[in-house]
């Protein structure tokens, strides 16, 4: 009997060839070339021992190319499809950031607004410098707020706000509470109304109430099955949730930094729209241009902007990028406005970034600098 992974790999490659047709019955001139690339991507998944992957590649001159490879759940042999939802992990941050920027564009907020203007004193640590942390500093990871919420202790600043880069998911907890007060909406509703619905991202949500059988399951290094969001939350009783709230009082659920559920095609649509001015993009031209402005240096060849990391490619010019990493979910997204190319790769295994790097090489034709910064060697 054929091994399930091998069978799904074979079917995925055949499906990839079908998906690249511009319309039924009409083959594109480069169909055979992309089918070969799809086969090499399938080989890379096997080499990296990734249970499953979902990829969307957008090129302005071609129809979207979608790949669904491998298994959503190895314990049941359920296959990945192009509609399978993945936990986005930190790919959540750019989506939330764009919702915040839309509030700025509407005049309800500004990049210079300070936390002390948005949150009551009891919601901030005693350190008065917290009150002066700005919206822009949080979005650009230069706030100085420690990256992880302290267990049962007060959050602290690692350095004076605005002086250097330090990636901080925890800072987004403060901004989420502030923005929810300004918008008078919970996170999931705010992002849905400002970003998801306008971009027709029908398979995406920050809420955790989606049907169980539509989602990928994370897998650990030994290929053991992880828990889905619903399983993790459902196994928490009221006492456990109360204990978590006491220990981590600023962790929000749903969470702006990490709780997005999405598909590769939905997220690729978001990437392209974020960097494109209205009416076809999210923002009016001044703010759309600001997304491409480097606000703070991160490393050689890497900067951070208002919602994304920024890199420069010899082939494609300036690019917006981000990654997501829950350990059992490892994701990557990049968009190049100059060549109008977008790549989103979502995986449900712990070697996902190594796979994502291989996919980027195959589809974009180069080894992107950001993978060296992420240490995916």
Could you please report the per-residue DSSP string of 275-304? TSBTTTSSB-HHHHHHTTS--EEEETTEEE
- Is the model's pLDDT at 164 over the cut of 90? yes
pLDDT digits (tens, 9 = 90+) for 92-145: 999 999 999 999 999 999 999 999 999 999 999 999 999 999 999 999 999 999
CA distance 274 to 196: 12
Stronger pLDDT, 50 or 26, i.e. the higher one: 50
- Put the strands of the sheet holding 341-347 in their side by side order: 78-79, 65-73, 52-59, 341-347, 330-336, 317-325, 309-313, 302-304, 296-299
Half-sphere exposure of 298 (CA within 13 A, CB side): 20
Provide the pLDDT confidence category of residue 18 given band limits of 50, 70 and 90. very low
What is the mean pLDDT of the segment spanning 278-300?
91
Q: What pLDDT is recorded for position 167?
A: 96
- Who contacts 64 (Cβ-Cβ below 8 Å, separation ≥6)? 56, 57, 58, 265, 268
The answer to whether 334 and 175 have CB atoms below 8 angstroms apart is no
Place of tokens 């690019």: 319
Provide the pLDDT confidence category of residue 60 given band limits of 50, 70 and 90. confident
Q: What is the DSSP letter of 173?
A: H
pLDDT digits (tens, 9 = 90+) for 247-260: 544 455 689 999 99
| Range in 146-160, 163-177, 261-275 with the lowest mean pLDDT | 146-160
Strand residue runs (E) in 173-248: none
Q: What pLDDT is recorded for position 280?
A: 85
Short-list 351, 330, 371, 332, CA closest to 46: 351
Q: What pLDDT is recorded for position 225?
A: 66
The dihedral built from the CA positions of residue 257, 263, 265 and 269, taken in this order, carries a sign that is negative
In which element (H, E) is residue 79 found?
A: strand 78-79
Is 131 exposed, middle or buried, given 0-12, 13-18 or 19+ CB atoms closer than 10 A? middle
| Range in 52-66, 165-179, 294-308 with the lowest mean pLDDT | 52-66
Stronger pLDDT, 98 or 233, i.e. the higher one: 98
Q: What pLDDT is recorded for position 285?
A: 87
- Is the model's pLDDT at 16 over the cut of 50? no
Indicate the average pLDDT of the chain. 85
pLDDT digits (tens, 9 = 90+) for 200-227: 999 999 987 655 567 899 888 766 666 6
Give the C-alpha distances (Å, rounded to integers) separating 88 from 19, 75, 219, 258.
23, 21, 15, 7
Short-list 235, 216, 236, CA closest to 226: 216
Q: What pLDDT is recorded for position 241?
A: 60
pTM of the model: 0.87
Q: What pLDDT is recorded for position 21?
A: 34
Q: What pLDDT is recorded for position 212?
A: 58
Q: What pLDDT is recorded for position 240?
A: 60
């Amino acid at each position: 009997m054929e091994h399930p992974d091998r069978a799904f790999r074979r079917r995925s490659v055949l499906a990839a060839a079908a998906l690249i047709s511009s319309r039924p019955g009409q083959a594109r001139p480069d169909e055979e070339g992309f089918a070969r690339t799809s086969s090499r991507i399938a080989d890379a998944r096997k080499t990296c021992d990734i249970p499953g992957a979902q990829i969307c590649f957008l090129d302005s001159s071609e129809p979207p190319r979608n790949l669904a490879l491998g298994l959503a759940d190895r314990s049941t042999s359920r296959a990945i499809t192009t509609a399978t939802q993945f936990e986005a992990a930190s790919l959540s941050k750019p989506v939330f950031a764009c919702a915040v920027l839309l509030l700025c564009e509407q005049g309800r907020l500004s990049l210079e607004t300070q936390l002390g203007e948005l949150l009551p004193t009891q919601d901030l640590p005693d350190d008065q410098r917290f009150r002066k942390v700005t919206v822009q500093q949080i979005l650009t990871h230069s706030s100085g707020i420690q990256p992880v919420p302290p267990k049962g202790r007060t959050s602290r600043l690692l350095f004076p706000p605005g002086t250097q880069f330090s990636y901080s998911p925890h800072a987004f907890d403060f901004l989420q509470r502030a923005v929810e007060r300004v918008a008078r909406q919970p996170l999931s509703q705010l992002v849905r109304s400002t970003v998801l619905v306008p971009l027709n991202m029908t398979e995406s949500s920050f809420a955790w109430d989606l049907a169980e059988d539509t989602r990928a399951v994370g897998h650990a290094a030994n290929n053991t099955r992880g828990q889905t969001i619903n399983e993790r939350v459902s196994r928490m009783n009221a006492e456990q949730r109360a204990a978590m709230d006491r220990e981590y009082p600023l962790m929000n659920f749903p969470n702006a930094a990490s709780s997005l559920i999405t598909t590769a095609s939905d997220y690729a649509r978001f990437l392209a729209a974020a960097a494109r001015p209205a009416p076809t993009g999210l923002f009016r031209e001044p703010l759309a241009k600001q997304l491409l402005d480097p606000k703070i240096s991160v490393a050689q060849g890497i900067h951070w902007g208002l919602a994304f990391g920024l890199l420069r490619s010899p082939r494609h010019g300036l690019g917006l990028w981000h990654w997501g990493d829950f350990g059992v979910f490892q994701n990557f997204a990049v968009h190049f406005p100059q060549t109008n190319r977008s790549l989103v790769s979502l995986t449900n295994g712990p070697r996902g970034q190594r796979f994502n790097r291989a996919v980027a090489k195959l589809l974009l034709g180069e080894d992107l600098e950001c993978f060296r910064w992420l240490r995916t060697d």
